[in-house]
Chain A
């Protein structure tokens, strides 16, 4: 259950050199700045870019190696481009049928009604692409790709051409896709928010090379990656709604290693949620602090200390029974508290950002 990719592309000023294996389940984010080779890698996987001598094995099936090259139309994949690429001469339904008709009946696993319902496009089916908004077009394009029952879904920054409101409109659909359909996704993005919200596995790319590849939480918590030096350094924690406090209008989110209280959530008890904790919102204390307005305290052990984005700060990685948290504190605090690896401390979480 994995996707093996080995590609080498040399095009004058740009070289892609990738040898990578990622899980063939869930969402794998190819993350990096523009020009880092994410899109080229995706195009190689699709067969749109012909990387001579490349190798690609998806879930045991060889799509490309030294001797063979499956052309794009023979690869069971779905591709959602950056900008909607609906056929302008066909209405939404005909666009969606285009791929479906060309998929052998025996291979069809994704149903029409299921997709229409999942993406909420029932009322758009007889419209032509120029009568759809940007977000609606992307939803139809996604439906069209899904209807070919792909073994692998490739998405090239599908939200980047949309404004903030449209992004918010489409993200829940992508999350449902993740939860309800068992199709592995390679998702190209340069937005930390999208990655935090959607990805299970992260591949960090720079200058055509893979810098890091691993689970989302583990990768975000690594201090040796450029991620740690960004303003947004922090972790993503997956939690379950454990309790609703009707009196104070709070909800408790439980995760291995602790729990946090957040403003009352609409989700039912037991629902899964992701939230993000920025390193800048976490402070450290040696003892459990009494008399503070901060409600979210987490006992955790110091695992690692590294330089942060300014000389005045350091990043501390803490472990709380498998859940990692990053704290960005001043170098002075580090010395005054005599923080050293292995030490047991209290992480005070000032704010959490819910991702769904």
Chain B
């Protein structure tokens, strides 16, 4: 089973994309999930529906709008063009933005649920023990929500590994720049190169499977032992 240099690059881009978009998503979604878990504002339902939209929309629809938005004529694309960065369609940055929107619900929902499950009581207890709201967030809410974060990270990472529709719309299929593993597999099949398609596919299967195993194992250990202070 030999991988071509191009396939290796595609794998590398795939991982980089998954890692970068997951990391940024976690940072951005933590305050959003916190707010959703605690607000009593009525408009909350609307925000939740928007967050969940990528779950049901065809990725090509998402990708299509993103392409319009990020391309040379789109609002965002034009802005970046003017400040000298260049528009974002068919770039790695464009891929990251697309993946983030695509995986948004997979990150927000587990974290939001974890924050909600921690409940008001723990926060109140921490406050009666002299912890400021920020202190309480860092030392009580975050550690208690760690499984939500772990789930969010893994789901987002795995989901991005398998992404296809959004990427082909926003990033195209530029080998060495925006071609990810799933698209490379598609190309191999198109070219009837089943051996190469097999090789890449098998790698993705093994990776996805071992990641999930690791998560379940970690989850079980956490449940019993807890984390030291």
From 42 to 92 in chain A, residues with beta carbon under 8 angstroms from any chain B beta carbon are 46-48, 71-74, 77-79, 81, 85, 87-91
Which of these binds chain B: A6-14, A97-105, A245-253, A258-266? Answer: A97-105
Q: Quick check: A99 and B130 within 8 Å, CB to CB? A: yes
Would you give the 0/1 interface string for B197-217, flagging 1 where the beta carbon is closer than 8 Å to chain A?
000000000000000000000
Q: Is B4 an interface residue (CB 8 A)?
A: no
- Contact across chains for A102 and B135 when beta carbons are under 8 A apart: yes
Q: Cβ of B122 and Cβ of A87 under 8 Å apart?
A: yes
Complex alpha-carbon distance, A87 and B143, angstroms:
10
- Cβ contacts under 8 Å, B121 to chain A: 81, 85
Chain A positions within 8 Å of B143 at CB level: 89
Report how far A266 CA is from B121 CA in the complex, Å: 41
22 pairs from A and B in contact (CB 8 Å cutoff): A48-B127, A48-B128, A72-B124, A72-B127, A73-B128, A73-B131, A79-B125, A81-B124, A85-B122, A85-B125, A87-B140, A88-B226, A90-B226, A97-B229, A98-B129, A98-B131, A102-B131, A128-B226, A144-B129, A145-B128, A148-B129, A154-B128
Residue of B nearest to A91 (CB): B226
Chain A residues whose CB sits within 8 angstroms of the CB of B131 once the complex forms? 73, 98, 102
Instruction: Indicate the member of A71, A72, A81, A97 with the most B CB atoms within 10 Å.
Output: A72
Roughly how many angstroms separate A86 CA and B131 CA in the complex, as a whole number? 14
Q: Is the pair B132, A73 in contact by a Cβ cutoff of 8 Å?
A: yes
The total number of A-B Cβ pairs within 8 Å is: 68
Contact B130 A102 (CB under 8 A): yes
CB nearest to A86 among chain B residues: B125
Listed residue (B126, B135, B229) with the most chain A CB atoms within 10 angstroms of its CB: B229
Closest Cβ of chain A to B149, distance in Å, is: 13
Q: How many residues of B contact A (CB 8 A)?
A: 22
A94 located at the interface, meaning its Cβ lies under 8 Å from any Cβ of chain B in the complex: yes
Are A90 and B132 in contact (CB-based, < 8 A)?
no
Q: Which residues of chain B come closer than 8 Å to A48, judged between CB atoms?
A: 124, 127-128
> How far in angstroms is the closest Cβ of chain B from A192?
27
B229 engages A103 (CB within 8 Å):
no
Query: Is B5 on the interface with A (CB-CB < 8 A)?
Result: no
Residues of A within 8 A of B29 (CB): none
User: Once bound together, how far apart are the Cα atoms of A11 and B229, in whole Å?
Assistant: 39
Closest residue on chain A to residue B228 by CB atoms? A94
Binding site for B on A (CB under 8 A): 46-48, 71-74, 77-79, 81, 85, 87-91, 94, 97-99, 102-103, 128, 144-145, 148, 154
Instruction: For A73, list chain B residues within 8 Å (CB).
Output: 126-133, 135-136
Give the distance in Å from the alpha carbon of A74 to the alpha carbon of B126 in the complex: 12
By a CB distance below 8 angstroms, the chain A residues around B1 are none
Confirm or deny: B227 has a beta carbon within 8 angstroms of a beta carbon on chain A: yes
List chain B residues, Cβ under 8 A from A77.
128
Minimum CB distance partner of A84 in chain B: B125
Closest Cβ of chain A to B64, distance in Å, is 44
Cβ of B116 within 8 Å of any chain A Cβ, yes or no, is: no
Bound Cα distance from A2 to B55, whole angstroms: 59
> 3 shortest A-B CB distances, which residue pairs?
A99-B129, A102-B130, A79-B128
Cα of A102 to Cα of B140 in the assembled complex, Å: 14
Task: Type the 1/0 row for B112-128, where 1 means its CB is closer than 8 Å to any CB of A.
Answer: 00000000011011111
Closest to A76 in B: B130
Q: Which residue of B lies closest to A154 (CB)?
A: B128
A108 to chain B, nearest CB (A): 12
Chain B contacts for A91, CB-based, 8 A: 226
Q: Is B144 an interface residue (CB 8 A)?
A: yes
Inter-chain contact A103/B130, CB cutoff 8 Å: yes
* A355 to B: closest C-beta gap in Å: 29
For residues 68 through 88 of chain B, which have their beta carbon under 8 Å from a beta carbon of chain A?
Answer: none
Given contacts A94-B229, A102-B135, A128-B226, contact A87 B125 (CB under 8 A): yes
* CA of A103 to CA of B228, assembled, Å: 21
Closest to B226 in A: A89
CB closest chain-A residue, reference B121: A85
A89-B144 contact in complex given A48-B124, A72-B124, A81-B125, C-beta closer than 8 Å: yes
Closest to A96 in B: B129
Residue of B nearest to A104 (CB): B130
Shortest distance in angstroms between A106's beta carbon and chain B's nearest beta carbon?
A: 14
Residues A148 and B226 in contact, CB atoms below 8 Å apart: no
List, in ascending order, chain B residues with CB within 8 A of A81's CB.
121, 124-125
Q: Is the CB of A88 within 8 A of B144?
A: yes
CA A72 to CA B122, docked complex, whole Å: 13
Residue of B nearest to A82 (CB): B121
Q: Which residues from chain A contact B226 at a C-beta distance below 8 Å? A: 88-91, 128
